Amino acid sequence: MAGQTDSQLVARCRVGDDAAWAELVERFGRYVYAIVVQGFRLREHDAEDVFQDVFARAYVSLPSLRDDAAVRPWLAQLTRRCCIDRLRRERREEPVEELADTAGEDELARLDEAFAVREALAALGEPCAGLLDRFFCRDESYHTIAEALDLPLGTIASRVSRCLAKLRTSFEGRSPASTASGETVTR
Amino acid sequence: MTGYDEERLAELLRALPPPPAAWVQAAQELPRARREVGGIVARAEADAAYRAAVLADLEGALADAGLEPNPPAVEELRRRLSP
């Protein structure tokens, strides 16, 4: 399953491959979550409902997706609609236009950029991918990371620094087209 | 793709924290959940008493089937049982 393009993953989901669906949720879960909690700033309970609703709708509608490679922007649009529906139900007095603006284009562009960095991170492989994920995304301490990865505590900071430099080299060497098409290979 | 210093990359990495594991798991189990809901609906169509019991406690019926009774699942079951 590792190393599949978005198109390949969607094709497998379409024929009822449960493992592919689980991989799709794993691949895009952070992105959907970020739109919900950072883009639209939904409260925890609402965010959970919307997160589940997005994937429930995606599961049903995936067969009608026209361009398998465009699954990420399609999910982004679906997530935005689910968030706006939720906000509309809660804030009936506010104009729809204001709700649509709740998550600005700049914020969504930033999340797209973050997703591209994440793809580059996955392509780095271990140990850097896990190390940087633990430190930056999961906010784990040096101590926790050292224990989890069975590494000397005193080496974590330098390893994070080296891996970040490696990520920079890798990310800057990527083709911009691969990010735009969604056809990058992740994990 | 230039102009990404390490501070900027770190900031972008921090922008995508993982969602709670339980959320991910529930979404990943969606295919199985839909099959289980299908089983509940099929049984309800054949057994009026069971159907009434399910309609009276949708969350309980889902939980009995080993499913997380989250709102989309409850709504799906309600929709499929509606006449």
Same domain, residue pair A55 and A138:
no
Same domain, residue pair A2 and A88:
yes
Q: Model ipTM?
A: 0.79
Same domain, residue pair A93 and A72:
yes
- Give A154's pLDDT tier (boundaries 50, 70, 90): confident
Residue A123 lies in a domain: yes
Stretch A156-173: mean pLDDT: 88
**Mutation test of the interface with chain B: which of A48, A160, A175, A184, choosing the one with the most B Cβ atoms within 10 A?**
A48
Answer whether residue B71 shows pLDDT above 70.
yes
Q: Which of A103, A128, A161 is the last residue of a domain?
A: A103
Shortest CA gap A106–chain B (Å): 13
Residue A186 C-beta-side C-alpha neighbours within 13 Å? 23
Same domain, residue pair A97 and A156:
no
**pLDDT score for B1:** 45
The answer to whether B55 and B65 are in contact (CB under 8 A) is: no
Answer whether residue B20 shows pLDDT above 90.
yes
Same domain, residue pair A69 and A120:
no
Same domain, residue pair A127 and A73:
no
The answer to whether A39 and A108 are in contact (CB under 8 A) is: yes
Q: Which domain holds residue A145?
A: 116-187
| Residue B57: both structure tokens together | 């406690």
Residue A124 lies in a domain: yes
Answer whether residue A187 shows pLDDT above 50.
no
Stretch A81-110: mean pLDDT: 74
Residue A74 lies in a domain: yes
Cβ–Cβ below 8 Å for A52 and B72: yes
pTM: 0.80
Give the rounded distance of the alpha carbon of A107 from its chain centre: 14
Answer whether residue A89 shows pLDDT above 70.
yes
Q: What percent of chain A has pLDDT over 70?
A: 85
Q: How many domains does chain A have?
A: 2
Same domain, residue pair A41 and A68:
yes
Same domain, residue pair A78 and A141:
no
Same domain, residue pair A78 and A121:
no
Which of the 8 DSSP states describes residue B17?
A: P
Please report residues of B whose CB lies closer than 8 A to that of A174.
1
Residue A4 lies in a domain: yes
**Residue B46 corresponds to which amino acid?**
A
| Domain assignments of chain B as residue spans, ordered by start | 22-81
Same domain, residue pair A98 and A138:
no
Answer whether residue A64 shows pLDDT above 50.
yes
Answer whether residue A94 shows pLDDT above 90.
no
Residue A140 lies in a domain: yes
Of A16-25, A29-38, A86-95, B19-28, minimum mean pLDDT range: A86-95
Stretch B36-41: mean pLDDT: 91
- The residues, any chain, with a CB within 8 Å of residue B37's CB and separated by 6 or more, are B62, B65, B67, B73, B76, B77, B80
The answer to whether A1 and A20 are in contact (CB under 8 A) is: yes
Residue A108 lies in a domain: no
Residue A109 lies in a domain: no
Stretch A32-52: mean pLDDT: 91
- Give B53's pLDDT tier (boundaries 50, 70, 90): very high
Same domain, residue pair A130 and A79:
no
Q: Which of A59, A75, A103 is the last residue of a domain?
A: A103
Better pLDDT: B69 or A94: B69
Shortest CA gap B23–chain A (Å): 7
The C-alpha atoms of residue B3 and residue A132 are separated, in whole angstroms, by 20
Answer whether residue B72 shows pLDDT above 80.
no
CATH code (residue A172): 1.10.10
Give the rounded distance of the alpha carbon of A30 from its chain centre: 4
Stretch A158-172: mean pLDDT: 88
To which residue do tokens 């994920």 refer?
A: A133
Q: Which of A69, A103, A137 is the last residue of a domain?
A: A103
Stretch B63-69: mean pLDDT: 86
Same domain, residue pair A63 and A152:
no
